Amino acid sequence: MTGMVQRRQTRQIHIGGVAVGGDAPVSVQSMTITKTADVDGTLAQVYALHGAGADIVRITCNDVEAAQALAEIVPRSPVPIIADIHFQYRLALAALEAGVAGLRLNPGNIRKEDHIKTVAQAAAGAGVPIRVGVNAGSLDKDILADYGGPVPEALVASALKEIRYLEDVGFGDIKISVKHSHVPSMVDAYRLLADAVDYPLHLGVTEAGPPPAGLIKSVAGIAALLLEGIGDTIRFSLTADPVEEAKAGRQLLEFLGLRERRGLDLIACPSCGRAEVDVIRIAAEARDVLEAENLPIQVAVMGCVVNGPGEAREADLGIAAGRGRGHLFIKGRVVRVVPEAEMVQALLDEARLLARDGIEARLAAADETAAVEAHETAIELRTAQGDANRAAERRAAVAEVARPE
Q: Does residue 260 lie within any of the structural domains? A: no
The predicted-structure confidence for 118-147, as pLDDT tens digits, reads as follows 999 999 999 999 999 999 999 999 999 999
Q: Are 339 and 289 in contact (CB under 8 A)?
A: no
Q: Give residue 327's domain range.
A: 265-385
Q: Does residue 274 lie within any of the structural domains? A: yes
Amino acid at 366: A
The predicted-structure confidence for 61-93, as pLDDT tens digits, reads as follows 999 999 999 999 999 999 999 999 999 999 999
End residue of a domain, out of 223, 255, 287: 255
- Residue 386: the pLDDT is 61
Residue 4 has pLDDT above 50, yes or no: yes
Cα 347 to Cα 278: distance, rounded to the nearest angstrom: 16
- Residue 387: the pLDDT is 55
Residue 391 has pLDDT above 60, yes or no: no
End residue of a domain, out of 196, 222, 255: 255
Q: Regarding beta strands 18-20 and 13-15, do their DSSP bridges make them parallel or antiparallel, or are they unpaired?
A: antiparallel
The predicted-structure confidence for 6-30, as pLDDT tens digits, reads as follows 999 999 999 999 999 999 999 999 9
Same domain, yes or no: 342 and 209: no
- Residue 1: the pLDDT is 41
End residue of a domain, out of 226, 255, 284: 255
Same domain, yes or no: 150 and 58: yes
Per DSSP, 9 falls in state P
Average pLDDT rounded to a whole number, residues 31-43 = 98
Q: Which residues pair with 20 in a beta bridge?
A: 13
Same domain, yes or no: 246 and 147: yes
Q: Does residue 192 lie within any of the structural domains? A: yes
Average pLDDT rounded to a whole number, residues 379-388 = 71
Residues 14, 15, 19, 22: is their CA dihedral positive or negative? Answer: negative
The predicted-structure confidence for 304-317, as pLDDT tens digits, reads as follows 888 778 888 899 99
pLDDT bin (cut points 50, 70, 90) of residue 376 is confident
3-state secondary structure 71-101: HHHHHHCCCCEEEEECCCHHHHHHHHHHCCC
3-state secondary structure 206-272: CCCECCCHHHHHHHHHHHHHHHCCCCCEEECCECCCHHHHHHHHHHHHHHCCCCCCCCCEEEECCCC
Same domain, yes or no: 278 and 228: no
- Residue 393: the pLDDT is 63
The CATH number assigned to the domain holding 49 equals 3.20.20.20
Q: Does residue 404 lie within any of the structural domains? A: no
Q: What percent of the chain has pLDDT over 90?
A: 79
The predicted-structure confidence for 263-292, as pLDDT tens digits, reads as follows 899 999 888 777 778 889 999 999 999 999
3-state secondary structure of 4: coil
Same domain, yes or no: 250 and 284: no
The CATH number assigned to the domain holding 284 equals 3.30.413.10
Residue 344 has pLDDT above 90, yes or no: yes
- Residue 305: the pLDDT is 82
Residue 2 has pLDDT above 50, yes or no: no
Q: Does residue 402 lie within any of the structural domains? A: no
CA angle, 48 then 137 then 34, to 5°:
25
Same domain, yes or no: 249 and 271: no
- Determine which of 2-6, 11-15, 96-100, 327-331 has the lowest per-residue pLDDT on average: 2-6
Residue 111 has pLDDT above 50, yes or no: yes
The total domain count for the chain is: 2
Residue 53 has pLDDT above 80, yes or no: yes
Q: What contacts 238, CB < 8 A, 6 or more positions away?
A: 208, 209, 210, 211, 214, 215, 218, 244, 245, 248
Same domain, yes or no: 296 and 331: yes
Scored b (16 or more CB within 10 A) or e, 190-201 reads: bbbbbeebebbb
User: How many other C-beta atoms can be found within 10 angstroms of the C-beta atom of residue 388?
Assistant: 13
Q: Examine residue 212 and say whether the peptide bond preceding it is cis (omega within 30 degrees of 0).
A: yes
Q: Does residue 2 lie within any of the structural domains? A: no
- Residue 42: the pLDDT is 98
Same domain, yes or no: 197 and 299: no
- Over its C-alpha atoms, the chain yields an Rg (Å, rounded) of 26
Same domain, yes or no: 248 and 276: no
Same domain, yes or no: 176 and 287: no
Same domain, yes or no: 101 and 205: yes
Same domain, yes or no: 181 and 74: yes
Q: Does residue 394 lie within any of the structural domains? A: no
Q: Does residue 6 lie within any of the structural domains? A: no
Average pLDDT rounded to a whole number, residues 170-184 = 98
User: How many other C-beta atoms can be found within 10 angstroms of the C-beta atom of residue 206?
Assistant: 22
pLDDT bin (cut points 50, 70, 90) of residue 214 is very high
- Residue 5: the pLDDT is 85
